[in-house]
Amino acid sequence: MVAGSKKAVYAALFGNLGIAIAKMIAAIMTGSSAMWSETYHSFSDTFNQVLLLIGIRTSTKVPSERHPFGFGKEQFFWSFVVATMLFGISGILSLEKGFGSLYNPIAHIENVGVSYVILLISAVFEGNALRIAFKLFRQTIELRGEKFSLRMLLTEFQESKDPTILTVMVEDSAALLGLGIAAVGLYLSDLTGNTIYDALSSVAIGIVLMLFAFFLAKENRALLIGEAISKRDYNRIIESVLSIAEVNRVISLRTMHFGPKDVLVAMDVSLADNMNTDSIELVIDSIEERVRQVLNLATPSKIYVEVERDSCPIRSKRHTDPLKGNKI
């Protein structure tokens, strides 16, 4: 997925850079507040892609003595920075430009046709970048053997642990929405001769950027402080481990993402009675392999399995959810 993430980021990077330059030319020629807001947005998006690439690169550094679990959370950190940059730069500048135009409106917008052409070209580039990110999401679903659907896509979007793809999709979606708002504002201003619509569209673009940035910051905050695997993978691990004949019960299972495919797994299990040391080690190895297969991990180095004495009097194949106390 790292290679796929890079592909989506590079597609967005080069697309946004070309779009930003074109929008700036259109903004200078027309004086449109909406086009200036879109210019800020595209230049911010371009810089954001650079930060995402830094996150991808630094997250692959070899673990050190001070960072024995590696640097996987670098992706979460830089994606969080991207969210705040999107809010701090694009959103505020767009609002400032919009409110400034409301208080000091320009007489009229010139060369509106140029803006329409630039907005159309921008929509093509942004749509292509979104298509690439969308395709990666679809491939992730289909590689698990699940049927693609809109509901499954929304679930995958909510449970995705890849902040890079998530950020690209959010940015491109915000970009397309912003382009639509700018086009409507320009059209109404050109139709009525009143530039207030152009100013209002600039304000609306700023609000959209802030809302999307808040969503991104919220998602990356959860990953930064230590988010567990999805409920789907959680249940698959429990089911897979309980299918081992020697496992009586999964007492607890705690997980935390260090990266999209870098997961810490700590599991306490109860095994059948009267097992010798060699047999216990073989079962533990088997559990680690099952977990690695479910999560598609490259290495089981962060999988820790402990054998505990089971105080539960009923020796049935079940698991106690440590967070809810429910028997599964």
Q: Could you give the domains of the chain?
A: 2-224 (1.20.1510.10), 231-319 (3.30.70.1350)
Judge whether residue 3 has pLDDT over 60.
Answer: no
pLDDT digits (tens, 9 = 90+) for 154-165: 777 777 788 877
- Give 157-160's long-range contacts (Cβ < 8 A, gap of 24+): 159/230, 159/231, 159/232
Judge whether residue 320 has pLDDT over 60.
Answer: no
Judge whether residue 295 has pLDDT over 60.
Answer: yes
Mean pLDDT of the chain: 83
Q: How many CB atoms lie within 10 A of CB 188?
A: 17
pLDDT digits (tens, 9 = 90+) for 199-228: 999 999 999 988 888 888 888 888 888 889
Q: Identify the residue with better confidence: 280 or 130.
A: 280
Q: CB neighbours of 40 closer than 8 A, spacing ≥ 6?
A: 89, 90, 93, 94, 97
**Highest-scoring range by mean pLDDT, 50-54, 186-190, 294-298:** 186-190
Q: How far is CA 306 from CA 233, 247, 267, 284, in A?
A: 20, 12, 6, 8
Q: CB neighbours of 314 closer than 8 A, spacing ≥ 6?
A: none
Q: What is the DSSP letter of 320?
A: B
Judge whether residue 325 has pLDDT over 60.
Answer: no
Q: What is the pTM of this model?
A: 0.76
pLDDT band at 286 (very low <50, low <70, confident <90, very high): very high
Percentage of the chain beyond pLDDT 70 is 89
Judge whether residue 62 has pLDDT over 90.
Answer: no
pLDDT band at 327 (very low <50, low <70, confident <90, very high): very low
Q: Identify the residue with better confidence: 13 or 256.
A: 256
Q: How far is CA 53 from CA 46, 134, 155, 168, in A?
A: 11, 19, 26, 12
Query: d(Cα 238, Cα 253) in Å, to the nearest integer?
Result: 8
Q: CB neighbours of 216 closer than 8 A, spacing ≥ 6?
A: 79, 80, 82, 83, 86, 166, 167, 170
The average pLDDT across 108-118 equals: 84
pLDDT band at 5 (very low <50, low <70, confident <90, very high): low
Query: d(Cα 79, Cα 107) in Å, to the nearest integer?
Result: 41
**Highest-scoring range by mean pLDDT, 51-65, 140-154, 200-214:** 200-214
pLDDT digits (tens, 9 = 90+) for 246-278: 999 999 999 999 888 889 999 999 998 888 888
Judge whether residue 315 has pLDDT over 70.
Answer: no
Question: What's the pLDDT at 308?
Answer: 80
